[in-house]
Amino acid sequence: MAHRLLLDTSSLTYRAFFALPTSIKAPDGRPINAVHGYLDMTAQLVRDLKPDEVVHVFDHDWRPMPRVRAYAGYKSQRAPDPEELPEQFDVLREVLGALGMPVAEAPGWEADDAIATMCARASADDLVDVVTGDRDMFQVVCVGPPQVRVLFTVKGVSQLATFDEDAVVAKYGIPPDRYAEFAALRGDPSDGLPGVKGVGEKTARTLIQAYDSIPALLDDLGAQTPRLRAALDDARGYLAAMGDVVPVRTSVEVTVDRSTRDDEALDALGEQHRLSGPLRRLREALDA
């Protein structure tokens, strides 16, 4: 069995930025907090889980055209990234390359889709753990084979909760393969998805449990209360669009960069960006 760790690097770096103070700076005064937190999180995962492989997965396009074409509001309300963040992504890429750790992305797509595709292509005897703060990834959880779990950020990036299929059912009352429909009904404010008017988590769960699919639900509006019937009827276009927006893609092109570790370059990067501490801890964890 190979234990593979897929890190949702875009989601985790963003979380690390807000979890750690921007007073963590490189010698020239640039905040380096997100890279610092991400590398320490990776070291902790490697130490605790001793995985056979760790892959860092980036958003190639955080707002892919196929999703925006289906629903123009997709992520349209997102505040721009804090200005100290984009250059930290560039530093992180350089550091991961020098570490010789694989970096993956799906051209034209989000890390979500690259990860879902890699899960779909895993070997039957793999155990895949997806580390993320993005609820969309609950869609890929499965008993398997291969078994896929989500390690979800609870607080910052240092505390994670493990979600296997039973845990997703316990939390949401629906299995992972219905999560996309559940999210479409309930909405997801962080992605600009309003959901169906008046439908919260509880109603969404009841409806998903009662019907095999959203089309089956829409074919049975007569069985709903008048208010819900009207709301669902109004939401037909929205719900049809969500079929192209919420589901993660499982067969996109994924590119993986694998370089070899360059310890001299790492020492220099550690000095340049004041990352010597996290890089020492991560190298020790990888070498153990």
Instruction: State in angstroms the smallest separation of the CB of 201 from Mn ion.
Output: 18
> Counting contacts by CB under 5 A, is residue 112 touching Mn ion?
yes
Contact (CB, 8 A) for 261 and 98? yes
Nearest to 17 by CA among 92, 82, 90: 82
Instruction: State in angstroms the smallest separation of the CB of 109 from Mn ion.
Output: 10
E strands present in 26-173: 53-57, 103-105, 126-132, 147-155, 159-163
Site string for Mn ion, 66-105 (x = CB under 5 A): ----------------------------------------
> Counting contacts by CB under 5 A, is residue 181 touching Mn ion?
no
How far the first Cα of the chain sits from its last, in Å, is 20
> Counting contacts by CB under 5 A, is residue 136 touching Mn ion?
yes
Contact (CB, 8 A) for 172 and 51? no
> Counting contacts by CB under 5 A, is residue 129 touching Mn ion?
no
Instruction: State in angstroms the smallest separation of the CB of 111 from Mn ion.
Output: 5
> Counting contacts by CB under 5 A, is residue 126 touching Mn ion?
no
Whether residue 102 is preceded by a cis peptide bond, meaning omega within 30 degrees of 0, is no
> Counting contacts by CB under 5 A, is residue 113 touching Mn ion?
no
> Counting contacts by CB under 5 A, is residue 40 touching Mn ion?
no
> Counting contacts by CB under 5 A, is residue 188 touching Mn ion?
no
Work out which of 40, 105, 134, 165 binds Mn ion, going by CB under 5 A: 134
40 vs 214: CA distance, rounded Å: 42
Residue of minimal Cβ distance to Mn ion? 136
Query: Which residues does 183 contact at the CB level (< 8 Å), separation at least 6?
Result: 135, 136, 193, 246
Binding site for Mn ion (CB under 5 A): 110, 112, 134, 136
